[in-house]
Structure 1
Amino acid sequence: MSEDILFERDNRVAIITINRADKMNSLDFAANDELVEAWREFNADDGLQVAVVTGAGGKSFCAGADLKTYTMDFANRPAPEFRSRYTNGLGIGGITRGMEIYKPIVAAINGFAISGGLELALAADIRFCSPNAEFALQDVKWGFHACDGGLIRLPQIVGHGNAMEIILSGERINAEHAMRIGLVNRIYPLDQLLQEARQYAQMLAKRAPLPQRFAKEVMKRSVGLPMEEALRMESRSFYDLGGTEDIAEGTASFREKRDANFQGK
């Protein structure tokens, strides 16, 4: 990887940083492709259990696509390369569409999360932010709408009415508003945000990895299913955990009043 995307291993936690602070951590084609590879590396590495994604500097988490790096045709429509790489591909940031990762992902949102940057944050499972964070899907201001999960994930997270307000207006909301509607889980001072996210991720990495992944998969795949079918999926997932070594270790550690040593088996 180049210096645009940083990938750090901290025990069982991956720290993925968009390192383009001078461009508000927006993603050009090359940086987006590198971020895709970072997610693939995290997903394939059995030694990594949790990821934290953040942006460099103190102003921006991610401002979405770097619009200055692709050309527009005479009708002011995105060029074919943009459509093929983003709209028809894995989406911005690699996890917004088409890449199934059932390991926990925490977003540390250190400033602006705008358009594709917000969609990247929405694709995480847990979101922490700093007080200076601002959130928006500004696409309607420029003649289009969100296309990397914003229209789908945002209503699931903040509810239909709150999502409509954000999507149809294109206006920004601040950290307090985001916390109030459930868009973020916690707010930390900027100089403590990443450390708090890392500590939280380390805590998650001490939990049993298989039930984390099974639970996340059920929660993702059950959206929109009839209740009876969704409940069967949940029950089947729980049944499948019954044959794992980790459930035996977990119950033994409870009886023996000690910390569990999960192996993901």
Structure 2
Amino acid sequence: MTPAGALRTSADKDTGVAVLTLDRPERHNAVDLAMAAELAAAWRKFRYDDSVRAIVVTGAGDKAFCTGIDRAAHVPQPHSPYSIDDPLRTIGPKANDLWKPVIAAVNGMACGGAFYLLGEAEFLVADEHATFFDPHTTYGMVSAFETVHMAQRMPFGEVARMALMGTAERISARRAYETGLVSEVTPPGGAVAAAVRAAETIASYPAEAVQGTVRALWSAKEAARAQALAHAPHLIALGNLPPERQAELFGARRGRGFRTR
């Protein structure tokens, strides 16, 4: 077992399975800037560790898998509405060029920025008490990266409903299973064990075949996903501007030829 600040990592050399645990249960495993850096470093380390052939990612405790960015985190932003610094963009395995299979074991709440991690896992296993929701619109924020990630996994209408309803509606583990977001629902406390069992099976196969299959699966949707993600920063930057700045920008645009009645 290797402690690493807000992360815990354990690896079984016999099975080839590593378990990566977000370990801030007192903050519902919210990601602060330090954890974001640790996650990126952990995925990059797994790239070069041939003894690790499959990874399970989960959250400490039974209340939350991850609740996204820690609201206490201060992230300085450039003034331009066309630029945004998002520390969560590099917390997932694919953002760090890791093509070993990753299984997410969801225990409790998974919301907001959690979808950066879930969106880059191969598949999800969830405790029956797990819930999924996206609070952005409730707080007057644009949900962009989250919706792009989930649109790769769920029917359009289900993603739209979750994103637009905000905190007013939470998707149960059973509903997530019905929509294809989750591949297996377990009794309370069983998600990690189920994910590890699946990971052990996958890790027992030749690594080249497994990793090539992972790469092939992602290449099937990579172009559309990359294009959608490229638009996300601009949508967030413009939609999250304070009202006075939006009035300034859009008022100026109307003054350059847009007419209103």
Closer/same/farther in 2, CA of residues 173 and 31 from structure 1, 3 Å limit: same
Match of 2:175 among 174, 177, 182: 177
Closer/same/farther in 2, CA of residues 99 and 90 from structure 1, 3 Å limit: farther
What SS does the corresponding residue of 1:80 show, helix, strand or coil?
A: coil
Match of 1:165 among 157, 161, 164: 161
One-letter amino acid matched to 1:164: A
**Cα distance in 2 for residues equivalent to 1:59 and 1:91:** 21
One-letter amino acid matched to 2:42: A
Closer/same/farther in 2, CA of residues 178 and 93 from structure 1, 3 Å limit: farther
TM-superposed deviation, 1:198: 1.1
| Matched residue, 1:187 | 185
TM-superposed deviation, 1:147: 4.0
Q: Structure 1 stretch 57-66 or stretch 163-172: which is displaced more? A: 163-172
For the 8 Å contact 2:93–2:99, the answer to whether it is kept is no
Q: How does 1:1-265 map to 2 (within 5 A)?
A: 2-11=4-13, 12-70=16-74, 79-80=76-77, 88=85, 91-92=88-89, 94-95=91-92, 98-148=95-145, 150-170=146-166, 171-223=169-221
TM-superposed deviation, 1:92: 4.8
Closer/same/farther in 2, CA of residues 98 and 225 from structure 1, 3 Å limit: closer
TM-superposed deviation, 1:120: 1.4
What SS does the corresponding residue of 1:103 show, helix, strand or coil?
A: coil
- The alignment's TM-score, normalised by the length of structure 1, stands at 0.74
**Identical residues among aligned pairs (%):** 26
TM-superposed deviation, 1:211: 1.9
One-letter amino acid matched to 1:64: G
What SS does the corresponding residue of 1:135 show, helix, strand or coil?
A: strand
For the 8 Å contact 2:88–2:116, the answer to whether it is kept is no
Closer/same/farther in 2, CA of residues 225 and 34 from structure 1, 3 Å limit: closer
**Cα distance in 1 for residues equivalent to 2:201 and 2:137:** 39
For the 8 Å contact 2:125–2:183, the answer to whether it is kept is yes
Closer/same/farther in 2, CA of residues 62 and 119 from structure 1, 3 Å limit: same
Q: Structure 1 stretch 127-136 or stretch 139-148: which is displaced more? A: 139-148
TM-superposed deviation, 1:169: 1.7
| Matched residue, 2:236 | none
TM-superposed deviation, 1:56: 0.3
Structure 1: unaligned runs, 5 residues or longer: 71-77, 227-265
User: What's the Cα RMSD here?
Assistant: 2.4
**Cα distance in 1 for residues equivalent to 2:154 and 2:211:** 23
For the 8 Å contact 2:8–2:23, the answer to whether it is kept is yes
Structure 2: unaligned runs, 5 residues or longer: 225-261
**Cα distance in 2 for residues equivalent to 1:224 and 1:92:** 16
Number of residue pairs aligned between Structure 1 and Structure 2: 215
For the 8 Å contact 2:76–2:85, the answer to whether it is kept is no
